[in-house]
Structure 1
Amino acid sequence: MKPIELISPVDGSVYATRTPLSREAAVAVAARARAAQQGWAARPLDERIALVKAGVAALIAKKDVLVDELAWQMGRPVRFGGEFGGVNDRTNYMAEIAAETLAPHMVEDSERFTRYLARDPVGVVFIVAPWNYPYLTTINTLAPALIAGNTVVLKHASQTLLVGERLAEAFHAAGVPEDVFQNVVLDHATTEHLIGARAFNFVNFTGSVGGGQAMERAAAGTFTGLGLELGGKDPGYVRADADLDAAVDSLMDGAMYNAGQCCCGIERIYVHESLYDAFVEKSVAWVKGLALGNPFDAASTLGPMANARFAAVVRTQTAEAVAAGAQPLIDPALFPADDGGAYLAPQILVNVDHSMRVMMEESFGPVVGIMKVKDDAEAISLMNDSPYGLTCSIWTSDAEAAASIGAQIETGTVFMNRCDYLDPALCWTGCKDTGRGGSLSYLGFHAVTRPKSYHLKKVTK
């Protein structure tokens, strides 16, 4: 098998190399997961919860090492401290609601009948995780899947190969049996073979639209459940009554944090004409305050993109837009660390429109386009003019207006006066090319369980 190389965006070096499993070895992994599932599900719920929480605690105990590893693997500055607060919070919330969510729903318990709805684990859950928030995106499915009584096979992105290993080490050290949670390195062909062979009962994939389409093709005819989060082109809308400074601060952070590599990052902004000039001026000043550099430098607030080829996509989209009439407002010379490779200067574009790829296709980098709108109706039309639907961010002092606008947006989450945030009590979901399914909240447990009805007649007449 051809080895998989993890190229560090920090310096272009080969940070890690792993050899994918052969098809035979991969089939054996899935078989072990299948054999271990009933025994794991038979353990008391409290015991499963305790083991999952202990696994997370063992992971967090190594966070100082893991933060450095993350910087080497995908470039996030160490000053931000990794993802482990969110990992802990999401695990704790899912643990707190597990007993109530997974408990049988009693319809009748009389002398004649006991009728109720139960939730059974689906069996073996396969997680195909992305590199941009590699611990958080994994835990969104890993924690509820294990708590609900499933076994889990994890395949992490090649850009974050070590993350899967670290998760498995921590959970095994905490007492989760090795066959209950397995980390694997697979190539695409073996991955598709396993899915097509019904090795798994549920597949959760976070990644590109093309990757999601490949998952659907592999699962065609198997009736395997799929959860697909395939990115977005998330809009922000600044109404005339918005708090301007708050909107600038949050929306620019939402566009630039993690070098713009956030599934729910802000990629396009529509501003009411009365605030447009001031918003653009303040946004430019905000972005000019960023410091692009080595992620291990304490002064760096913007690190490299995870891979030079990802940065090339953003450069191409930006250059095309400028050639078509867009105006770039950030001089790349202000960011001398921009090396034409993974290190990419941030950019704000105006004079943009929806004929430009930078306003329609996912950029997943530190670039954002800003357009002027005259009213809510124009903003709603533009926000909906997208193949994606993950989140939208509405900035206003009127909560009723935000809810009314949100009801008209084709999206998974409506934010008012915030963005780029996951609340574990709310379902993380999307529509259109963003995919289908949902994680977190009580619905996250529904994704990794199936309903089972009990109709028990206690009499014979």
Structure 2
Amino acid sequence: MTQMTYNRLYLEGDWRRTASSGTIPVYSASTEERIGTVPEAGTADADAAVQAAREAFDDPTGWSTWDPARRAEVLERFAAALEARGAETARRVSLQNGMPITLAEQFEQWFPAVVVRYYSHLMVDLAQEETRPGMLGGSSRVIRQPVGVVAAIVPWNVPQAITFLKLAPALASGCTVVLKPAPETVLDAMLMCEAAAEAGFPAGVLNVVPGGRELGAHLVSHPRVDKVSFTGSTAAGRAIAETCGRLLRPVTLELGGKSAAIVLDDADLHATIESFYAATLLNNGQICWLCTRVLAPRSRYTEVVDTITALASSLSVGDPLDPGTQMGPLVSARQRDRVEGYIAKGLSEGARITTGGGRPKGLDRGWFLEPTVFADVDASHTIAQEEIFGPVLSVIPYSSEEEAVAIANDSEYGLGGTVWTADSDRGEALARRISSGTIGINAYANEPTAP
């Protein structure tokens, strides 16, 4: 495979050499071969990026002061440039993190341009000022203004979709951004930078600094950053929240998940099996909102276990660039080791594997792992409480709806969830009792227009 090698980073509106001599090697998740190299940004590079973003934001005639329609013209060029590179973006993501290409085409090829246009149009149509009558005889003028320099830190699992859930609203509203992509998925970020350069953003509006946790921590605490947006682990999120709390700095966090899929006694999983797969095992189990705890009524427990087992065992595991692949490799050897550690823990605590549990035969290269289903799982088991971030499901029995709600809510997480039922009204009534940010009925989608 031809190596994808970059020797400059997109900083201050141009391609520049880094102050650091470090590099980030990039590997294929399916072959373990090195496929590219990107410069690693150091703290001096991050400082330069923040300074450029600060100057661009503070410019009295710059990006933050432009009429939203004028910003929309640049963002439309950005969206078009992203679309022109969409197929290659999807390919690079699949190579790096193992995402099946058919999924990458949805999340990474098409979504970024769509969300850029959505927020761009939203800002054009949104009133920038409004007057509200006061209670004390006067009135209040409410003015919507960009918050300032945003430090955006994104993970490796759905890198471009998550990048644009941060970039699109920030740029459309007039903020300037310093983006730190994860070191596992930097080749797609560099392609995004090429699109940004083609779009013609003013210098400093968008700056990209690839690096690890130390660089992220430096950005989070930087004195010239106004807002932090982070997606990643709960442990890292707590540390970021502590830092931002001391600094009184606004922060948005999307962290880990251990969401519950409640299968009610009237559910027809066979009729919704594709949606159930998407809500539980999508992207090789490497999505934070997946429902990896499946709660099944005791009256139908064996049937539900058998249905889920058949689903997991039927999935096509292989090369993520093959359109027929439903389950690719995990992102790294370290991630596979982590997931295998949880599988061993599940067995040691008394749960029973009904399918999977090992590495697939015939796939000796790449960080592959079989889709795995555990039965006889107690809600207190480690595999039912901690985020695994791999293709591992735990099926937990319950005796009543009240018990199902209690089990679903017995979690440190509150990100997503689903209810599976033939009666949508019944499903919604139950969903309202779950302590979680979002809930799907017989399906799940992380809808960008929802809070």
Change (3 A) 1:345 1:278: same
Question: Could you tell me how far apart the structure 1 residues matched to 2:416 and 2:358 are?
Answer: 33
Counterpart of 1:395, as a letter, is: W
Question: Could you tell me how far apart the structure 2 residues matched to 1:192 and 1:281 are?
Answer: 45
Structure 2 match to 1:10:
30
| Structure 1 residue ranges (4+ consecutive) displaced by more than 6 angstroms after TM superposition | none
Match of 1:228 among 237, 253, 264: 253
Change (3 A) 1:92 1:5: same
216-225 or 156-165, larger mean C-alpha shift: 216-225
Secondary structure of the corresponding residue to residue 439 of structure 2: strand
Change (3 A) 1:294 1:399: closer
Question: Could you tell me how far apart the structure 1 residues matched to 2:308 and 2:33 are?
Answer: 35
55-64 or 187-196, larger mean C-alpha shift: 187-196
Q: Deviations over 1:217-258 (max 9, x none)?
A: 443422211111112011100111223323443223322221
Structure 2 match to 1:396:
421
Match of 1:406 among 431, 447, 450: 431
Secondary structure of the corresponding residue to residue 353 of structure 1: coil
Structure 2 match to 1:257:
282
Within-5 A mapping of 1:300-339 = 300-331=325-356, 335-337=360-362, 339=364
Secondary structure of the corresponding residue to residue 160 of structure 1: coil
Match of 2:98 among 66, 75, 85: 75
1:45 to partner: Cα distance:
0.3
Structure 2 match to 1:423:
447
Alignment of 1:123 with 2:143, yes or no, is: no
Question: Could you tell me how far apart the structure 2 residues matched to 1:23 and 1:81 are?
Answer: 32
Within-5 A mapping of 1:7-406 = 7-38=27-58, 39-82=62-105, 83=107, 84-101=109-126, 103-108=128-133, 115-331=140-356, 335-337=360-362, 339=364, 342-406=367-431
Q: Which runs of 5+ in 2 are unaligned?
A: 1-19
Question: Could you tell me how far apart the structure 1 residues matched to 2:145 and 2:401 are?
Answer: 45
1:191 to partner: Cα distance:
3.3
Q: CA RMSD in A?
A: 2.3
Counterpart of 1:67, as a letter, is: A
Question: Could you tell me how far apart the structure 2 residues matched to 1:379 and 1:6 are?
Answer: 43
Question: Could you tell me how far apart the structure 2 residues matched to 1:354 and 1:147 are?
Answer: 44
Conserved 8 A contact 2:237-2:255? yes
Change (3 A) 1:334 1:205: closer
Change (3 A) 1:321 1:406: same
Secondary structure of the corresponding residue to residue 158 of structure 1: coil
Conserved 8 A contact 1:9-1:307? yes
Aligned length: 424
Question: Could you tell me how far apart the structure 2 residues matched to 1:333 and 1:4 are?
Answer: 30
Q: Deviations over 1:299-336 (max 9, x none)?
A: 32211011111111111111211122211111568942
100-109 or 406-415, larger mean C-alpha shift: 100-109
Counterpart of 1:34, as a letter, is: R
1:337 to partner: Cα distance:
4.2
Question: Could you tell me how far apart the structure 2 residues matched to 1:221 and 1:3 are?
Answer: 33
Question: Could you tell me how far apart the structure 2 residues matched to 1:361 and 1:102 are?
Answer: 44
For CA contacts below 8 A with separation 6 or more, give which structure has more relative contact order: 1
Identify, as 1 or 2, the structure richer in strand.
1
Counterpart of 1:57, as a letter, is: A
1:341 to partner: Cα distance:
6.3
186-195 or 272-281, larger mean C-alpha shift: 186-195
Change (3 A) 1:366 1:190: closer
Change (3 A) 1:354 1:341: farther
Question: Could you tell me how far apart the structure 1 residues matched to 2:360 and 2:212 are?
Answer: 37
Secondary structure of the corresponding residue to residue 79 of structure 2: helix
Counterpart of 1:378, as a letter, is: E
Question: Could you tell me how far apart the structure 1 residues matched to 2:331 and 2:97 are?
Answer: 4
Conserved 8 A contact 2:356-2:371? no
Conserved 8 A contact 2:93-2:104? no
Percent identity of the aligned residues?
29
Question: Could you tell me how far apart the structure 2 residues matched to 1:338 and 1:233 are?
Answer: 29
Change (3 A) 1:232 1:130: same
Change (3 A) 1:284 1:228: same
Q: Deviations over 1:407-448 (max 9, x none)?
A: 2211100211112x1212211xxxxxxxxxxxxxxxxxxxxx
Question: Could you tell me how far apart the structure 1 residues matched to 2:437 and 2:412 are?
Answer: 13
1:108 to partner: Cα distance:
4.3
1:339 to partner: Cα distance:
4.3
1:176 to partner: Cα distance:
1.7
Conserved 8 A contact 2:309-2:354? yes
